[in-house]
Structure formats: C-alpha cells, structure tokens
C-alpha cells in the first residue's frame, strides 16, 4: 500500500503476460503478495472501472505472480498493460480468516442511517471490525460505487459499517450488494 498523506492507496501493478488459463502480473513477494490474493483488474483504457477479479495462484519471484481470472465482465479479456490493484481489505494479499477456495463474501445493505450502513454479513462470514467491503450500485452489481469499513460485528449474520468513500451522487440503499475482496 502507498501512503498518500494519511490516505492509503491500494497496491497496484500491471498485467505483463496473458495466457489462455492465466495472466502474469508485476507484483510478487517483494510487495507481500501471497497465493490466494485477490486483485481487481481494470482495463488500461479505463482505469476507474473495475473489469473483474483475479486470484494469485503462484508467486513466481520478488516481482512476478501468476493469477487466474475469477470473474470478469462479459466480453472483456485481460490484456497486456491492464492494471491490477490489491484491495485494502487484504493484508499481505490475504484477507484475515480467508479459506482457500471460498472466494469473496457477498452480502447486502439492510439499512442506512447517516454515514452508517447495516449489513447482513457477520462473524459467520469471517467479517471482523476493520474489514473493508466494496459497495455496488443497487441497479448495477458490476459497478463498484464505494468502500465500506466494518465498525461493529453484531452477531453471526449482521454488522455495521461506516462509509469510507462513495462515487459522487451515489448513496447506499437497502438491498445493494457488498462484497469482500
């Protein structure tokens, strides 16, 4: 991660090689990447729109890892120079409590009050205080609209989060999708 005067920017790199079943990226052990890390992929010509998710399957060396496509937008393929970002919900490439193969945890907004959001995700989904979740537009589950940070785990199936940032003009609404990365 990069410190921008108190703001933390996610670690990012680029796709360097594309094969039929994997891509190589310019992030490796020197950046703390580990097998199982989830990275968002953005097209080189549109670095603000998330195109999908990659999962590191092998750390090759200090500056290179191999990843497989987990999800990607319809009609999109990874290409040389596409950007990848390790989300701030991960620590050294693996979210705390991550179990290989389980993938991101998905839930929904159940209520909104001011800058706080109620979620239908709790301890049973591995959610902990400080977990960051991507928030998606209610009418477009492929467009990331912001980041939420859990401030309280209420029980196995419920938590409260604060809004870290949102796209301009967007507010969370009940039933909107949230996802750990």
pLDDT class of 5 with cuts at 50, 70, 90: very low
Query: Per-residue pLDDT tens for 43-59?
Result: 989 888 888 888 889 99
- Is the model more confident about 37 or about 153? 153
* Residue 72: C-alpha distances to residues 49, 75, 156, 168 (Å): 12, 8, 30, 24
**pLDDT at res. 56:** 87
What is the CATH class of 106-179?
mainly beta
Residue ranges of domains in the chain? 2-86, 106-179
Domain 2-86: which topology? Thrombin, subunit H (2.40.10)
Among the listed residues 118, 113, 41, the one whose alpha carbon sits nearest the alpha carbon of residue 81 = 41
0.85 exceeded by pTM: no
Please report the pLDDT score of residue 181 as a whole number.
Answer: 64
Q: What confidence score (pLDDT) does residue 6 get?
A: 38
Lowest mean pLDDT among 33-42, 56-65, 122-131, 135-144: 135-144
- pLDDT-derived band at 96 (thresholds 50, 70, 90) equals very low
2-86 matches 106-179 in fold: yes
In order, the DSSP letters of 95-157 are -TT--TT----EEEEEEEETTEEEES--GGGT--TT-EEEEEETTEEEEEEEEEEEEEEEETT
């Amino acid at each position: 991660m990069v410190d921008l005067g108190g703001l933390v920017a996610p670690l990012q790199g680029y796709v360097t090689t594309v094969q039929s079943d994997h891509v190589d990226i310019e992030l490796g052990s020197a950046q703390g990447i580990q097998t199982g890390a989830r990275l968002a992929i953005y097209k080189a010509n549109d670095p603000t729109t998330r195109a999908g998710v990659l999962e590191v399957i092998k750390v090759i060396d200090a500056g290179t890892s191999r990843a497989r496509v987990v999800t990607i937008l319809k009609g999109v393929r990874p290409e040389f120079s596409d950007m990848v970002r390790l989300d701030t919900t991960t620590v050294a490439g693996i979210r705390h409590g991550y179990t290989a193969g389980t993938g991101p945890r998905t839930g929904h907004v159940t209520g909104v009050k001011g800058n706080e959001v109620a979620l239908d995700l709790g301890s049973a989904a591995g959610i902990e205080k400080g977990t960051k979740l991507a928030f998606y537009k209610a009418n477009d589950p492929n467009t990331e609209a912001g980041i939420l940070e859990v401030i309280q785990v209420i029980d196995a199936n419920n938590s409260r989060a604060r809004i870290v940032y949102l796209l301009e003009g967007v507010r969370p609404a009940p039933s909107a999708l949230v996802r750990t990365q």
